[in-house]
Amino acid sequence: MNEEQRSILLQSSSRFPPPKGTKLSYGTAGFRADASILQSTVFRIGILAALRSLKTGGAVIGLMITASHNKVSDNGIKVADPSGGMLTQDWEPFADSIANAPDPESLVKLITDFAKKENIPLDGAKAAATVLLGRDTRPSGESLLEAANKGICCVVGAVAIDMGIVTTPELHWMVRARNKGLKATELHYFDQLSTSFRCLIDLIPEKSRDNHHPIGKLVVDCSNGVGGEKLQVLKEKLNAFLHLEIRNSGNSGILNEGVGADYVQKEKVAPQGFFGHSDVGIRCASLDGDADRFVYFTLTSNGDNKINLVDGDKILSLFALFIKQQLSILNEDVGVGVVQTAYANGASTKYLNDLGLKVVFTPTGVKYLHGKAEEYDIGIYFEANGHGTVLFSDHLLSWLDGIKNEPCSGLEKQNAAKRLLAVANLMNQAVGDALSGLLLVEAILQHMGWSVDKWNELYHDLPSRQLKVKVADRSAVVTTNAETSVEKPPGLQEAITALTAKYPQGRCFVRPSGTEDVVRVYAEAKTQEEADELADSVAKIVQQFLG
């Protein structure tokens, strides 16, 4: 590092002192904390993003200021790699160490050492780095974005481009598109989504179109977040094809407070603004605060807020079924892989296996699921909480393109190929995206002529229960086999296995959370009472082992 670069880094970072007495860590989905203590972290991750761009030969990197479903006073920062996916895991320890460096001198030393080790050109000579910045609607976003901007500009040759208020998946999409030399503005994003949705609607066979009843309106809870404003754009573009009603759009109401996909999925109740008397039976969906997750639901009866939840597992199952149908028209053996985590309801895994699909499991966190899904020609991944997407290999896309353009294939095959190509265009190839996922659900329901209830009948969830256990040190729990089995402390797994064996269709696992200071317990059984009982008794065992 030359003297000029060194002195810029020292001077600027002295204006962003780290919070005292707080240890921050990159975690499963970037840094998250109360927004008031994040200025220095965000500034430093700005530097990291510029270094990542230099390291990858000037590729565009993304920085998203969001804390997703957390409360409005929190905020956070995530990094998108050149592919549009999450920051490579090799760089997470560096992110942790610079976030916690106590003073400018030690920060600059960490940067110097890392740049040397990674061979990052920090002499400013011909260096060029680009970082796209985005933020959600949190009030703290603007000043944190400015801090990130300052961090980026500390690296000689780096420029920041502010994309303004965007959803997390929009920013990831833009990073991917820019690095592929494709059109990459927000306008292009909306065009791509609405065009591919319309294409799927146009391809609904005439015959089945006649038999179908109109499937009615969709009411979307936007968590009082960024999704509200963005969904409005799609609503205007797709008015003729989709009857959308937007609620909790953020004009009044507080972000994530009693609203949003996380609340609805975890509490299994309707969000605020939905009423047992007028909304019963209507198809509803909820987005989370940064619009990268979604779930569906219907209100069950008058006067209360109980719901039938249609979660990420069922969204995955609907997508898998549709894709499988198109592939059977094409009559070709295509490698389809379905990726779930241990939190997937056992009934969904059974359903997918019965469809003849290969189901694999990874640890919790999109960075693991996405990586696995990329190994297939078509990789479909979803977490039970509604975060996921469908990935297509380049090889498969060009094969489909060939069929689409070849009249000898026959109209039916050409149409099936067109549908799959439209799915690939609609579904965000960088990361899970609530807006594109929602449109695919709607297109498939119209294609099938299905109501949300009919969809929900694909299989019946096994009763399940999730609990959190506070322990002295959650890192004492070490798991293996995609988190389904405990290696340490010794004896814990044997105790869990013995308890689980007492329940018909019982399944239970524990793992340390990557975002909260708890050990999570998940249990499934034949009845709700048994699932509750199993989860309770395993939680007690965890307490005994870990104090």
Ligand X SMILES: CC(=O)N[C@H]1[C@@H](OP(=O)(O)O)O[C@H](CO)[C@@H](O)[C@@H]1O
Active site residues: 68
User: What, of Mg ion, ligand X, none, does residue 256 touch, CB below 5 to 8 Å by kind?
Assistant: none
Cβ distance to Mg ion smaller for residue 288 or 530:
288
Restricted to residues 327-346, the positions that interact with ligand X (CB under 6 A) are 343
- The per-residue b/e assignment along 171-191, b for 16 or more CB within 10 angstroms, e otherwise, is bbbbbbbbbeeeebebeebbe
**524 binds ligand X per the rule CB under 6 A:** no
Distance CA(465)–CA(461), nearest Å, equals 12
Cβ distance to ligand X smaller for residue 349 or 364:
364
User: What, of Mg ion, ligand X, none, does residue 393 touch, CB below 5 to 8 Å by kind?
Assistant: none
User: What, of Mg ion, ligand X, none, does residue 343 touch, CB below 5 to 8 Å by kind?
Assistant: ligand X
Q: Name the residue with tokens 């270094």.
A: 51
Report the half-sphere exposure of 17 (CA within 13 A, side-chain side): 3
**292 binds Mg ion per the rule CB under 5 A:** yes
**520 binds ligand X per the rule CB under 6 A:** yes
Q: Could you tell me the two tokens for 270?
A: 């309707």
Contacting ligand X (CB under 6 A), which of 82, 260, 365, 379?
A: 365
**29 binds ligand X per the rule CB under 6 A:** yes
**68 binds Mg ion per the rule CB under 5 A:** yes
Q: Could you tell me the two tokens for 12?
A: 């600027």
Q: Which residues contact 439 (CB under 8 A, 6 or more apart)?
A: 193, 197, 234, 238, 242, 426
Rounded least distance, CB 464 to ligand X, Å: 11
How many residues contact ligand X, by CB under 6 A? 13
Is the preceding omega at residue 489 within 30 degrees of 0, hence cis?
A: yes
- Helix, strand, coil tally for the chain in percent (to 5): 45, 20, 35
Cβ distance to ligand X smaller for residue 170 or 383:
383
Cβ distance to Mg ion smaller for residue 29 or 441:
29
User: What, of ligand X, Mg ion, none, does residue 288 touch, CB below 5 to 8 Å by kind?
Assistant: Mg ion
Coil, helix or strand at residue 244: strand
Give which of 251, 285, 291 is closest to 170, Cα–Cα: 291
User: What, of Mg ion, ligand X, none, does residue 12 touch, CB below 5 to 8 Å by kind?
Assistant: none
Contact 534, 509 (CB under 8 A): no
Helix (H) or strand (E) holding 366: helix 366-373
**483 binds ligand X per the rule CB under 6 A:** no
Q: Residue 507, annotated ligand binder?
A: no
> Angle at Cα 538 formed by Cα 533 and Cα 539, nearest 5°?
95
Cβ distance to Mg ion smaller for residue 229 or 288:
288
Q: Residue 75, annotated ligand binder?
A: no
Rounded least distance, CB 536 to ligand X, Å: 18
Helix (H) or strand (E) holding 413: helix 411-426
**415 binds ligand X per the rule CB under 6 A:** no
Select the span of 186-194, 322-330, 349-357, 514-522 touching ligand X (CB under 6 A).
514-522
Q: Residue 49, annotated ligand binder?
A: no
Output phi, psi for 415, to 5 deg.
Answer: -65, -40
Distance CA(531)–CA(525), nearest Å, equals 5
Strand 60-65 relative to strand 129-135, pairing: parallel
Q: Name the residue with tokens 């999409």.
A: 173
User: What, of ligand X, Mg ion, none, does residue 366 touch, CB below 5 to 8 Å by kind?
Assistant: ligand X
**89 binds ligand X per the rule CB under 6 A:** no
User: What, of ligand X, Mg ion, none, does residue 292 touch, CB below 5 to 8 Å by kind?
Assistant: Mg ion
User: What, of ligand X, Mg ion, none, does residue 62 touch, CB below 5 to 8 Å by kind?
Assistant: none
DSSP letter for 303, please: T
Contacting ligand X (CB under 6 A), which of 41, 345, 385, 456?
A: 385
Cβ distance to Mg ion smaller for residue 288 or 313:
288
**513 binds ligand X per the rule CB under 6 A:** yes
Distance CA(123)–CA(413), nearest Å, equals 56
User: What, of ligand X, Mg ion, none, does residue 521 touch, CB below 5 to 8 Å by kind?
Assistant: none
**288 binds Mg ion per the rule CB under 5 A:** yes
Contacting Mg ion (CB under 5 A), which of 81, 229, 290, 311?
A: 290
Select the span of 138-146, 171-179, 360-368, 452-460 touching ligand X (CB under 6 A).
360-368
Q: Cα–Cα distances in Å, from 433 out to 18, 169, 193, 211, 508?
A: 33, 5, 11, 31, 29
Report the half-sphere exposure of 114 (CA within 13 A, side-chain side): 21
Distance CA(246)–CA(125), nearest Å, equals 51
SS3 track for 423-468: HHHHCCCCCCCHHHHHHHHHHHHHHHCCCHHHHHCCCCCCCEEEEE
**383 binds ligand X per the rule CB under 6 A:** yes
Give which of 506, 497, 499 is closest to 525, Cα–Cα: 506
Select the span of 75-83, 250-258, 282-290, 319-327 touching Mg ion (CB under 5 A).
282-290
Give which of 148, 129, 175, 149 is closest to 77, Cα–Cα: 148
Contact 415, 70 (CB under 8 A): no
Helix ranges (DSSP H) in 283-356: 312-330, 346-354
Rounded least distance, CB 32 to ligand X, Å: 9
**516 binds ligand X per the rule CB under 6 A:** yes
Q: Residue 304, annotated ligand binder?
A: no
Q: Residue 123, annotated ligand binder?
A: no
Select the span of 239-247, 290-298, 446-454, 501-509 touching Mg ion (CB under 5 A).
290-298
**451 binds ligand X per the rule CB under 6 A:** no
**121 binds ligand X per the rule CB under 6 A:** no
Query: Using CB under 5 A as the criterion, which residues of the chain lie in contact with Mg ion when the complex forms?
Result: 68, 288, 290, 292
Binding site: what residues are annotated?
68, 288, 290, 292, 383-385, 511-515, 520
Known binding positions for substrate: 383-385, 511-515, 520
The footprint of ligand X (CB under 6 A) covers 28-29, 343, 364-366, 383, 385, 513-516, 520
